Structure 1
């Protein structure tokens, strides 16, 4: 079963490619530079969610775990979760 494509993912469980390489480079830099306590806030969607990204569950693993908090309009409901691809 092919995973859905969300944000920068392409829905392919293989190695990172395309836009995925850009986020992989950023996540690797954050880890190697010792930057801690990053907070990712995203919007422009019509749902609210909190996503935990863990390298143990990803194809690309050279990053520290982090949370992404998503919120659209104040009246948005929760959504998903969709299955993430492994990138």
Structure 2
């Protein structure tokens, strides 16, 4: 299932509106609230284009600690490396896995960079169990998590 939300007022792009009605924070809060209120737990978001791999678990509401959202960030498969260990903890965010060099400048050659190239893979078995993995360019599993349907 894919969910999309568009702001009612579109004078600005969502990322630049911060916590205003057109902002990312506002939209994310509304999306988290909708998922929680509709009892859609353990939703999984797969993203890319940040040039390192990281897996996050969000527990955005202290009054409903069992409500969780999971984000799998993968990549690059062949691009520059721009690792960033800083992340917003305001949504009860926990980093479960990070894969990237210590800094952009620590990787000097393409051969060194290949170690950090990665992609995400999703499989769903006949019982509905979903396994999401982060894999290196050889297909080796770097991190794996199995999610049960709820």
Same fold (TM over 0.5): yes
- Equivalent in the alignment of 1:19: 24
Distance 1:62 1:28 in 2: 11
Distance 2:57 2:41 in 1: 15
In structure 2, the gaps of 5 or more residues are 1-14, 92-150
Match of 1:42 among 40, 43, 47: 47
How many residues are aligned here? 72
Normalized per residue, which structure has more strand? 2
Distance 1:66 1:48 in 2: 17
TM-score (norm 1): 0.59
- Equivalent in the alignment of 1:82: 86
TM-score (norm 2): 0.38
Query: What RMSD in Å do the two structures reach over aligned CA positions?
Result: 3.4
Distance 2:50 2:87 in 1: 17
- Decide which structure has the larger Cα Rg and report it: 2
- Equivalent in the alignment of 1:4: none
Distance change (3 Å), C-alpha of 1:56 and 1:22: closer
In structure 1, the gaps of 5 or more residues are 1-7, 11-15
